[in-house]
Structure 1
Amino acid sequence: MLGNINIVECNQNYREALTKSILFFQAQRSGSLPPNQQVTWRSSSALSDGRLANVDLTGGYYDAGDNVKFNFPMAFTTTMLSWGTLEYGKKMGAQLEDARVAIRWATDYLIKCANNMPEKLYVGVGDPNLDHKCWERPEDMDTARTVYSVSSKNPGSDVAGETAAALAAASLVFRKVDPKYSKLLVKTAQKVFEFALKYQGAYSDSLGYAVCPFYCSYSGYKDELLWGAAWLFRATNAVNYYNLVKSWGASDQPDIFSWDNKYAGAHIDYILGENPLKKSYMVGYGPNFPKKIHHRGSSLPSIAAHPQHIGCNEGNQQFFSSPNPNPNILVGAVVGGPNQNDEYADDRGDYSHAEPATYINAAIVGPLAYFSGLP
């Protein structure tokens, strides 16, 4: 019911918030950073990702405050970024190209992950159990960069279905500006979806030790198959995808992502500071925002400021436990937020409230674009 909102009384600078919400993704980049990198306290990292499996899996995004690449949330992030760009791209102005760049940083990586199809789909890099014990900059990390995949014998229809959705949605973003790349995206999406459909099963069952409790597939995999089919139908207009959506959609019951619960969407100003604490939960936006977020790169000094290697234990002892604000401001990052009583401790150790994530930012880009485009 957007028409009932009194826009005149809004005091937020949505254009600034939009710009910063997209800039956040540069700080989450893995791989070789380009010369025009704007978040200058980050440097290239994880340049050997995939080597343990004799494949190139460099690039993509670290999902949150850690240094692991989990493809399930990364693919969802990509789908949501693409969806927001498709719906509100005309309202983004100069930020439209930045949004496309953010999407492509993920899809370039997801395409690499599908290069060995139909034998296997790579779905992540980095041992989360070891990584989460360390407090290291991405540029310093020396934990195992274990490669994870799903296959016909160890299926993962959920992560594959979401990957297909991401690639299909992104193909629509690039359809007019880069037709060749768009065709590659949709072709890869079809290949990945065929794999998801043919070898059905939850990736939590195949890779539980590596993805749970971090990103278990609690809802099963049928929702991702439906989601992937829906985006492929939009991208191709192929009747077989339509038939899948029609046959599955009638029996599946919606859960959180539904028409019924709109409370979070009706509060996008609460996040920006219209709350009892008058605190912005977007880092770098407004005068009062979280200063000690749960994020390794933000809380550790940059390579430029501290070129010496910072080891796992040293990072924990000297920086994770430090009472000081993070030395690098992770501009645009939206943190988990306050508790149910509108309290926020700004505690680096409280990851459930103080940690940002790509999929949080991806969901807010579209709404911010909508409001920033209003007169």
Structure 2
Amino acid sequence: MMEIYGDKISRLISFSLLYLLSMQPMMARGGLDYREALTKSFLYFEAQRSGHLPYNQRVMWRGHSGLTDGLEQGVDLVGGYYDAGDHVKFGLPMAFTITMLSWSILEYGAEVKNMGEYGHALEAIKWGTDYFIKAHTQPNELWVQVGDGDADHYCWQRPEDMTTSRHAYKIDTENPGSEVAAETAAAMAAASIVFKQSDPHYSHLLLHHAQQLFDFGDKWRGKYDKSVRAVKSYYPSVSGYGDELLWAALWLHWATGSDRYVEYLVENADEFGGTGWAVSEFSWDIKYAGVQVLASKLLMEGGNLTKNQTRKLEEFKSKAEHYLCSCLGKNKDDNNVRRTPAGLLFVRQWNNLQYVVGATFLLTAFSDYLSRSNQQLRCPTGNVPGEELFSFAKLQADYILGSNPEGLSYLVGFGPKFPKQVHHRAASTVAFKEDKGFIGCIQGFDVWYIRRKENPNVLTGAIVGGPNANDAFDDRRGNYMQTEACTYNTAPMVGVFAKLHHLEQKKEEQHHLKQQEQLFEGLQGQRSWM
């Protein structure tokens, strides 16, 4: 009798343990914590802030900087973001960063909100758009750079100690710059959609600036690196301005619903290369793949389109499919993106992860567009379901977070092993709040840059340039091709991390329900003796 009773007690204990295990969060049982990745991503944008830092600044090793920006030209240009490890404020990559942050929130805002990070997302976007409002001083005038790249690169100082030139550069009707005008218009239009519900007045203000900037960039066409020679060695426009104008038109259509911008897209599709360029990269410079994916979204959502508009959007979609198929390795004649032996997309050795994150976001977003429209991706080797696009995007994201031969997370501060010598002036130098002693240009190089020790400050949330074509990574401060991080590396991953966490959460809930059912069935079987 005691043996039977003991057996029943043992089984009851087993069911109780099963219940306790079912209550464990997934990350406690192994796997990548995408919630942590997202949370840390927003910290990186705080570390990149220029200007007077707010009271709720969480990255405490940073201080106020660039407080006289624009003073020489009689304009207030305080604020905005440093793009990477130096202290120049470059307008084109900054605007692209804000566009991609906004797109991430527009696609996956509900997921970000459920993770409690929506407020930080809005703050990150607004820090950029507030600066763009300041920089757009006249309808046909936009300040597009603060600081001198050459002088800055000869100096290794904390932003709080800056002694390099803070000369500001602008575009206007006599010195046009269609790329940066249009990209800033795209950023403000995208952000206006984000703020439409929470702050209608601010949303309207952003849209007003976006429309003016688009008209300015379109009416006075010209390459911005011809007008602003100082940017030529750092962020030159290789693709020209056609992609940015098409990109801005699509964002303005999304923001306004006006058919004017669809017509602009259709009328200029061929001339600007939107339906002609079959590309294999997406970046701050080359927007064609983003244009083609956004145009595909417009087509796949249906709506009130004319036959001509539908036909032209189909051409955009065809080029989008070429890009996505090239990432998946499903184009013929070797017309695909290269991969490292471990499967990471590889475009070029200098900051390769910028191309990986762009592809990862576009694959993720397009997989959702396919699912919602009940379609598949058309590749030369055969049709591909949306789930396969997302599975590949997840592989790229997981590689970045540490599932790679080096066992290294390229998202700084994430996981047990990550880059410790990030090429970043502020992170690699003693924090201003700890030591207010002035650090000069040469002193910074002699004392801090050449150190072989890890940085005193962790640049949490930054995504560095990443490994080489053979999956190898050399964590040295001087190896800037691999160890420098940029704002536009992290921005596209915000949406991807949010979606990945949401799906893991759903999977965990299903797992929990299944275990609850097993527990209930087991307890039902014990009624005979209770």
TM-score calculated relative to the size of structure 1: 0.95
Which residue number corresponds to residue 81 of structure 1? 101
List alignment gaps of at least 5 residues for structure 2: 1-25, 283-288, 290-319, 328-344, 346-355, 361-392, 507-530
Which residue number corresponds to residue 295 of structure 2? none
State the distance in 2 between where 1:22 and 1:36 align: 13
State the distance in 1 between where 2:31 and 2:265 align: 41
Which residue number corresponds to residue 317 of structure 1? 446
Match of 1:135 among 156, 159, 165: 156
Select the structure of larger CA radius of gyration: 2
What SS class does the counterpart of residue 228 from structure 2 fall into?
helix
Mapped contact 2:63–2:433 kept (Cα < 8 A): no
Match of 1:155 among 176, 185, 202: 176
Q: CA deviation at 1:248?
A: 2.5
List alignment gaps of at least 5 residues for structure 1: 1-6
Which residue number corresponds to residue 91 of structure 1? 111
Which residue number corresponds to residue 289 of structure 1? 418
Q: CA deviation at 1:115?
A: 2.0
Match of 1:304 among 411, 418, 433: 433
Q: CA deviation at 1:249?
A: 2.9
Please state if 1:245 is matched with 2:265.
yes
State the distance in 1 between where 2:154 and 2:221 align: 33
Match of 2:73 among 53, 70, 74: 53
Alignment size in residue pairs: 367
State the distance in 2 between where 1:233 and 1:50 align: 33
CA deviation map 1:109-131 (0-9, x unaligned): 0011112232x211010011100
CA deviation map 1:114-159 (0-9, x unaligned): 12232x2110100111001100000000101010111111110000
* AA partner of residue 265 (structure 2): V
State the distance in 2 between where 1:217 and 1:138 align: 27
State the distance in 2 between where 1:332 and 1:49 align: 26
Please state if 1:40 is matched with 2:69.
no
Aligned-CA RMSD value: 1.4
Which residue number corresponds to residue 123 of structure 2? 101
Match of 1:227 among 236, 242, 247: 247
CA deviation map 1:18-65 (0-9, x unaligned): 000111000000000011100000001000001011000000000000
State the distance in 2 between where 1:240 and 1:99 align: 30
Q: Runs of 4+ in structure 1 displaced over 6 angstroms?
A: 7-10
State the distance in 1 between where 2:252 and 2:139 align: 18
User: Identity over the aligned pairs, expressed in percent?
Assistant: 49
State the distance in 2 between where 1:358 and 1:366 align: 14
Please state if 1:193 is matched with 2:197.
no
Of stretches 133-142 and 108-117 in structure 1, the one that deviates more from structure 2 is: 108-117
Please state if 1:168 is matched with 2:297.
no
Q: CA deviation at 1:226?
A: 0.3
How has the CA–CA distance of structure 1 residues 10 and 235 changed in structure 2, closer, same or farther, with 3 Å as cutoff?
farther
State the distance in 2 between where 1:294 and 1:122 align: 27
TM-score calculated relative to the size of structure 2: 0.68
State the distance in 2 between where 1:218 and 1:368 align: 30
Q: CA deviation at 1:247?
A: 2.0
Q: CA deviation at 1:75?
A: 0.1
Please state if 1:213 is matched with 2:213.
no
Bigger relative contact order, structure 1 or 2 (CA pairs below 8 A, ≥6 apart): 1
CA deviation map 1:242-267 (0-9, x unaligned): 11112223552242233424343231
CA deviation map 1:192-220 (0-9, x unaligned): 11100110011011112x11221000000
State the distance in 2 between where 1:318 and 1:212 align: 30
What SS class does the counterpart of residue 41 from structure 2 fall into?
helix
Q: CA deviation at 1:10?
A: 8.0
* AA partner of residue 150 (structure 2): N
* AA partner of residue 434 (structure 2): A
Q: CA deviation at 1:284?
A: 0.5
State the distance in 2 between where 1:141 and 1:195 align: 33
Which residue number corresponds to residue 271 of structure 1? 400
Q: CA deviation at 1:97?
A: 1.1
Which residue number corresponds to residue 203 of structure 1? 224
Which residue number corresponds to residue 16 of structure 1? 36
Which residue number corresponds to residue 388 of structure 2? none
1:340-351 correspondence to structure 2 within 5 Å: 340-351=469-480
